[in-house]
């Protein structure tokens, strides 16, 4: 059972080994606690284990060994259906490539997230509209993604991720496809969401992006080091 007083994420001696040959030890005894309201950046080069750790914390993959609790709930032995339900209700995702459906309107793209969460049908459109207003795109609800700038498309993706009121927002290289001005706008949006109490974890290779977070953690060869 989920406990609101427990850490959002608590990883203890987490390992992930991808079978070979040769076998790849992608995570090596990772310990990490993320509390409610934390804003964490995990920074490292390609191949360092960033995507693996996001997949672990987003319940998209299982560890080879170790313990991972989400809001106090052990996740290692949950069924795939239970993990999917936990993701749909409690975890929002933002990706580098936006992953928006080009033939659907902005509003319809955001509403898609509500179909995977326990949100009544008559509340879904209202939730999506509120989320788009929150990211400054209330005037774009009937546009399609192809008519928007890169920065606007990423804001739609953020709105989609927060319209279900998740416990945790996971962002994977959210500024990777954006110019500097658009990147800054998206990072300011994350800061606003964090100030509203949302727990955020950003995976990035960009030190400038990482420095804007409350906590910085460097990953190298599958091991974590918290930076001061």
Domain 37-62+77-227 classification at class level:
alpha beta
What is residue 160's predicted lDDT score, i.e. its pLDDT? 93
Local mean pLDDT, 10-residue blocks, the chain (228 residues):
88 92 89 96 87 92 94 92 91 89 94 87 93 91 93 92 92 88 90 93 92 93 87
Nearest Cα to 61, choosing from 30, 85, 83?
83
What is residue 21's predicted lDDT score, i.e. its pLDDT? 82
Phi/psi region, residue 59 (left: phi>0; alpha: psi -120 to 50; beta: rest), is left
Question: How far is 146 from 153, CA to CA, in rounded Å?
Answer: 8
Strand duo 168-172 + 199-204: pairing? parallel
* Whole-prediction pTM: 0.91
Extents of the domains making up the chain: 37-62+77-227
The angle at the Cα of 178, spanning 111 to 84, to the nearest 5 degrees, equals 35
> What's the DSSP call for residue 77?
T
Residue in this structure with the two tokens 């190298």, named with its chain if needed: 220
């Amino acid at each position: 059972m989920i406990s609101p007083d427990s850490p959002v994420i608590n990883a203890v001696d987490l390992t992930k080994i991808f079978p070979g040959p040769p076998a790849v030890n992608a995570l090596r005894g990772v310990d990490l606690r993320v509390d409610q309201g934390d804003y964490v950046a995990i920074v490292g080069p390609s191949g360092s284990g960033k995507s693996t750790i996001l997949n672990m914390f987003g319940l998209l993959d299982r560890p080879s060994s170790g313990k991972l609790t989400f809001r106090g709930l052990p996740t290692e032995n949950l069924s795939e259906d239970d993990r999917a339900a936990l993701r749909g209700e409690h975890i929002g995702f933002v990706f580098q490539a936006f992953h928006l459906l080009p033939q659907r309107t902005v509003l319809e793209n955001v509403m898609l997230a509500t179909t995977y969460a326990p949100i009544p049908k008559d509340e879904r459109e209202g939730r999506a509209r509120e989320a788009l207003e929150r990211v400054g795109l209330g005037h774009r609800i009937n546009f399609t993604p192809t008519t928007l700038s890169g920065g606007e498309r990423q804001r739609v993706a953020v709105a989609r991720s927060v319209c279900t009121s998740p416990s945790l927002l996971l962002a994977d290289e959210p500024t990777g496809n954006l110019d500097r001005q658009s990147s800054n706008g998206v990072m300011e949006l994350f800061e606003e969401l964090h100030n509203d109490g949302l727990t955020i974890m950003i995976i990035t290779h960009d030190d400038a992006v990482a420095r804007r977070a409350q906590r910085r953690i460097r990953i190298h060869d599958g091991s974590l080091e918290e930076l001061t």
